[in-house]
Amino acid sequence: MSANIKSIVEDFALTWLTEHGFELVDVEYVKEGSNWFLRIYVDKDGGIDIDDCGRISEFVSAKLDELDPISDAYFLEVSSPGAERPLKKPQDFVKAEGKTVFITTYEPIQKLKEFEGLLTKVTDEHLTVRVGKKEYEIPRDKVAGARLAIVF
C-alpha cells in the first residue's frame, strides 16, 4: 500500500514541481509508532525555503484531497533533503561526481560494504569512489544505499 501511495504522489507531484523549478528528491509514506507520515523531499538551485515548502504543501494537500488515495490519518511534511541528501536516481550520482559520498553495498567489494570518500567517476555500470589513496569500483547493481556525506 505505501508503495502505491508513493507512486501516486510522485506521479502527480513531479510535473507540477518541475514546472515550478523544483526537483522531487524522494517521497516516503511510513508509519512511525502509531502515526503515518507522508514526507516529500524537494530541492532547487540555491536551496528551498519555508515559503517554497508552504506552496508545495498547499498544492500536494489539495491534490490529495481531490484524489483521496490515503484512508489513514497522516501528517504531511515537505522539506529539503538536507546536506546528506540521498542519491537514488542516475542524475543524482552525476551531480554528486567530485563530492564526498557514503555508499553501502549489498555484498562486500574488496572485503568492504561501506565506502565514504570522493565520488571520482560515474558510469551506467559503476561508481568509482576514492577512499584515502585507494579507489574502489562499485557496480551499480550492488549499491544498497547512497548519500552525500559531510566532511568535518
**50 shares a domain with 118:** no
Q: Does residue 85 sit within a domain?
A: no
In a domain, 11, yes or no: yes
Q: Are 130 and 71 in a shared domain?
A: no
Do 9 and 74 fall into the same domain?
Answer: yes
Q: Are residues 58 and 101 in the same domain?
A: no
The three-state DSSP-derived secondary structure of the chain is: CHHHHHHHHHHHHHHHHHHCCCEEEEEEEEEECCEEEEEEEEECCCCCCHHHHHHHHHHHHHHHHHHCCCCCCEEEEEECCCCCCECCCHHHHHHHCCCEEEEEEEEEECCEEEEEEEEEEECCCEEEEEECCEEEEEEHHHEEEEEECCCC
- Is 96 found in the same domain as 75? no
Nine-digit cell at 95? 551531480
Q: How many domains does the chain have?
A: 2
Q: Are residues 13 and 52 in the same domain?
A: yes
Q: Which domain holds residue 124?
A: 90-148
Last residue of a domain, one of 53, 79, 105: 79
Q: Tell me the C-alpha distance between 99 and 79, whole Å.
A: 22
The enclosing domain of 20 has a CATH number of 3.30.300.70
Q: Is the pTM of this model over 0.85?
A: no
Among 54, 79, 104, identify where a domain stops.
79
Q: Are 39 and 79 in contact (CB under 8 A)?
A: yes
Report the CATH number at residue 107: 2.30.30.100
72 and 95 fall within a common domain: no
33 part of a folded domain? yes
Would you give per-residue pLDDT tens digits along the chain (152 residues)?
Answer: 566 999 999 999 999 999 999 999 999 999 999 999 999 999 998 889 999 999 999 999 999 999 988 888 999 999 998 888 889 888 899 999 999 999 999 999 999 999 999 999 999 999 999 999 999 999 999 999 999 998 77
Residue 84 located in a structural domain: no
